[in-house]
A and B are shown apart, each in its own frame.
Chain A
C-alpha cells in the first residue's frame, strides 16, 4: 500500500477512534466553538489550542465529485471507474472528502443527499464512505447554489 493512513497520527487519532465505533467526528475548538476540518493543532478563529471533537450527523450533500478512470495507486488500479466526492456535512460548516459508493458513477448529480457508511481498510483504520440516498433530487429545499 502506498502511503497508508496512520491510525496514531497526532491530529487524527480521535477521528479514527470515532470511525472505529461507526461515528463520524470533526474538530470543534473547546474555547470558541468553531468547527473545523481537516483537523489542525489550533483554532483558525481564536487561536485556541484546546482541541475538542463533535459527532457529525452522518449525512450530507454531494458538493462535487470526480469519476476516477485512471489511478496511479496500485490498490486502486483494478477498481476503476470509481467516485471520490466532496460532501458538505448536514448541520456543520465543513466538507469532507471520501469515496462515494455507487453502481452508477455516471449518474450522480451535485446536491444529491448522501449517507455515511464505514468500511474496514487494510491499513487497520475504519474508513467513512458515502452512499447516495434514494430520494428524488431537488425536493422542497433543493440544492442551493453559491452557498456553503
Chain B
C-alpha cells in the first residue's frame, strides 16, 4: 500500500463539552467538511470505516443517501483505532475494494457516554474486568494506565515534573490554536503539581479532555486524487500491533513492550524512513505518561529516556520533535485521536498559522488503547 494511498480530505467540528446535538449530526457535519475539503460529492464515498462506538456505516449510508458502499470495517483498538481505521482505508483503496473510504469518529464524549461508560462497553477482556478488576475498584483508563506510569517512575526515575512538562507543552500549543478547548487557559507547573489526584500518579492535568465533536478523514489512491484534483497527503506506511497478554495489563513480562513497540518498526520500514526523519509527531496523549511511553516505544528516544526527552524541550514547537502542535488530547480535545490525523494533514499542508511547524513535510501519528494496542502511520506531503 506504500505510496498507493493518500488522505484527500479532512473535516472536524468544533470541540466542546456540550455539543447540543446528536452524534449522527456531528458525524454528518465533519464528513460534509471533509468532502468539501476534498472537493468531492458525498456520492464519491464507497467505503466507510466507523469507530466501534458512535454512528455506524449504515447511519452514514442513510444520512447521505449513498447508493453503493462496497467496503466497511470496524477496528477494535480503542485509542489506536483512528490510525488503524486510516490504515484499513488505505488497504481497501490500494486493494481496489473501494475508491474513496471515509474514516470518522463522532462522539458526545463529555455530555453523552463518558469514558467509563465507553470502556465498560468496548474494552477487551470484559470477563476479567468484571470478575477480577471492578470488584477491587479498578475500572477506568486513568487507573489502568497509571499502573504503567508508576512502574516507569520506579524503573527509570521518571518524575512528576517530567509528566508536567508534557501537560504544560500541550497547553502552550493549545494556546496557539483558537479551536482548542483550552485556548486562552494557560497552565503553570505549580498548578499542575497542585491539581487533585485522579489515580495517583495521575492527577487532573495528567488526564486528557473529554470532548463532544467529530472528525473525518477521506482516503483514496494517488491516481484517484490526481483525477479528482484534491491535494493529497501520502500515507507512506502504517501498521498495528498488540501487546502480549493483550487483554490483561498485569501479565506482560515487560510492562513497556506493547503494541506500538511492534507496530512502529513495521510502519517505519514500510515508509522507508525512521523516527529521526520525522519533522513532528502526533502522539496519542490520553495521559501525560503515554507521551513518554510512546516516544520510547516508537523509537524517538531510548527506553527509560522519555522523561528527560520531554523535560528537555524536545517536544515543544521549535524543539527537535514538536509533538501535537494542536495541543493534543490533553489540551485541544479528544476525538479518539482522529483529530490528530486532521492536525497532521493540516500541518503537512502548511495551513496551521501560529502553531505551524515550519517546512513540515513528514510526520508520524501514533495510537494507543485497549490496554496495549498500538498503531503508527507515517504521512508526508505529496512532493516530499
Chain A positions within 8 Å of B, measured between CB atoms, are 2-6, 9, 11-12, 37-38, 63-73, 75-76, 79, 81-82, 84, 86, 94-99, 106, 110-111, 121, 123, 125, 127, 129, 145-146, 148
Assuming the contacts A64-B151, A110-B150, asked whether A127 and B135 have C-beta atoms less than 8 A apart, the reply is yes
Chain B nearest CB, measured from A123 CB (Å): 7
B130 touches A70 (CB 8 A): no
Chain A nearest CB, measured from B158 CB (Å): 13
Query: Closest chain B residue to A65 by CB distance?
Result: B150
Query: Closest chain A residue to B198 by CB distance?
Result: A70
Query: Closest chain A residue to B207 by CB distance?
Result: A70
Chain B interface, DSSP helix/strand/loop, else mixed: helix
A-B contact pairs, 13 of them (CB 8 A): A5-B130, A5-B135, A6-B130, A9-B131, A37-B248, A38-B132, A64-B151, A72-B116, A72-B139, A82-B137, A94-B251, A99-B136, A110-B154
Give the chain A neighbours of B146 by CB distance below 8 A: 66
Query: Closest chain A residue to B145 by CB distance?
Result: A66
Interface size class of B (residues with CB under 8 A): 35 or more
Chain A interface, DSSP helix/strand/loop, else mixed: loop
B120 in the interface (beta carbon within 8 A): yes
Q: Complex: how many Å from CA A9 to CA B135? A: 15
Give the chain B neighbours of A81 by CB distance below 8 A: 197, 200
Contact of B135 among A68, A71, A95, A121 (CB under 8 A): A121
Chain A nearest CB, measured from B306 CB (Å): 16
Chain B nearest CB, measured from A136 CB (Å): 18
Top 7 closest pairs, chain A to chain B, by CB: A67-B200, A69-B197, A72-B116, A110-B154, A64-B151, A66-B146, A95-B250
Q: Complex: how many Å from CA A67 to CA B146? A: 9
A73 touches B134 (CB 8 A): yes
B150 touches A84 (CB 8 A): no
